[in-house]
Amino acid sequence: MKTARWLGWLGFGVLVAGAAFALIVRLAAPAALLQFSFLADPAIAVLAVALGLALGLLVASAWRRRQTLQLKRLLAERAAAEAVERRRFMQRLDHEIKNPLTAIQVQLDNLQAVDADRRPAIGEVRAQVDRLAYLTRGLRRLADLEARPLELERIEIGELLDEVAELLQAPERIAFDVQRVPWPIPPLEGDRELLLMALRNLVDNALKYSAADTPVQVRARDLSGKLLVEVVDTGRGIARDELPLVTEELYRGSNARDVAGSGLGLAMVQRIVARHGGQLELRSRPGQGTIASVQLPYEPGAKEAERGVRR
């Protein structure tokens, strides 16, 4: 796409230069107007070559642009088809796992009630089953996130961040910095509960993966047309080669295994942000800390409408 545009501009530049050159030649020698001796007039020859070149470049660039667009459309279609396929698979898996899990849980309850001697062992099995159940629910929620319509409402980011603090109950460690001057951040159109869930997850990660006596900063800024929220910690960080992987479901960073987690949090954040037409970016230096930044358009309306049609 970028090369195509560059070629287009080059073609246009040559065309303009050629036209300018022609004009100068004509004005300088008006008597030569009716002489069609191409070879005798090197200026005309140069002009003709320049014009040909410009036209050629324009055609080539248009053709390339078309190719790129087609390729892009094809890729998008394939990605959409894959997403649908995956969602279906998740639903089937979820469905097939749920009945046996329920049966195991229920029978464990019965065992525990009658067999007092084996209670610790049964308790351990139950804890493992609970983990499986938790994971199944998480995976289904992820699949759900792609399909359910957004419930859009007007959100004041300051209010939403207050709610994040309320949810996490760690106000002394979180330092909020919400832009108020020279202008305040405009209200945001979004699904309040989903955005709350996403931001809570990011701040919770920052708290979990940094020392208990270090602060976590949450900054909100207005970028024209977009909201920027950054969650900054000075914790253990994420290895460079793992950065693109941590937003995949069930992936857990190699240095994160000692901290409890499902491996679904960032995948969820990623999807919520994408559903709002925004972007999640992670920057990190192992041993120094991580910046998770979320950019959200103030009105995700257009993207959502597009999705609505497809669904």
Partner 1 sequence: MNEQPPLILLVDDDDAIRAGLAAALLRAGFRVVEARNGLEALKLAETKAPDVIALDILMPELDGREVCRRLRQADNWTPVIMLTQISATGEKIASLEEGADDFLNKPFDSYELIARVRALLRRQAVAGRPAQLAGVLVSGPLRLERQTQRVWLAGQAVALSNKAFGVLAHLMSRPNVVVSREQLLDQVWGWDDPTGIRTVDVRIAEIRRKLGDEYIETVPGEGYRFVGSVKAG
Chain contacts with partner 1 (rule: CB under 8 A): 91, 94-95, 98-103, 105-110, 113, 133-134, 136-138, 140-141, 143-144, 147-148, 151, 153, 163, 166-167, 169, 192-193, 196-197
Residues 164, 170, 171, 177, CA torsion sign: negative
- Alpha helix ranges (H) inside 1-41: 2-28
Q: How far apart are CA 50 and CA 56, in angstroms?
A: 10
Q: Which is nearer to partner 1, 285 or 311 (CB)?
A: 311
Buried b or exposed e, range 281-294, using 16+ CB within 10 angstroms: ebebeeeebbbbbb
Residues 16, 21, 24, 29, CA torsion sign: negative
**Nearest distance from residue 63's CB to partner 1, in Å?**
45
Q: Which of 264, 266, 301, 290 is nearest to 280 (CA)?
A: 266
- Which contiguous run of DSSP H or E holds residue 262? none
Residue type present at position 239: A
**Nearest distance from residue 195's CB to partner 1, in Å?**
12
**Nearest distance from residue 107's CB to partner 1, in Å?**
5
DSSP string, 198-261: HHHHHHHHHHHTS-TTS-EEEEEEEETTEEEEEEEE-SS---GGGTTTTTSTT---TT-TTS--
Burial class (CB in 10 A: 0-12, 13-18, 19+), 95: exposed
Q: Which is nearer to partner 1, 3 or 102 (CB)?
A: 102
Q: Which is nearer to partner 1, 262 or 279 (CB)?
A: 262
Q: Which of 203, 80, 86 is nearest to 144 (CA)?
A: 86
**Nearest distance from residue 6's CB to partner 1, in Å?**
47
Q: Which is nearer to partner 1, 60 or 129 (CB)?
A: 129
**Nearest distance from residue 88's CB to partner 1, in Å?**
10
Q: Which of 287, 297, 205 is nearest to 252 (CA)?
A: 205
**Nearest distance from residue 106's CB to partner 1, in Å?**
3
- 215: which residues sit within 8 A by CB, 6+ positions away? 173, 174, 175, 234
Q: Which is nearer to partner 1, 14 or 157 (CB)?
A: 157
Q: Which is nearer to partner 1, 72 or 95 (CB)?
A: 95
Per-residue DSSP letter, 287? T
**Nearest distance from residue 84's CB to partner 1, in Å?**
13
**Nearest distance from residue 237's CB to partner 1, in Å?**
24
Q: Which is nearer to partner 1, 169 or 224 (CB)?
A: 169
Q: Which is nearer to partner 1, 141 or 283 (CB)?
A: 141
What is the distance, to the nearest Å, from the Cα of residue 122 to the centroid of all Cα atoms in its chain?
43
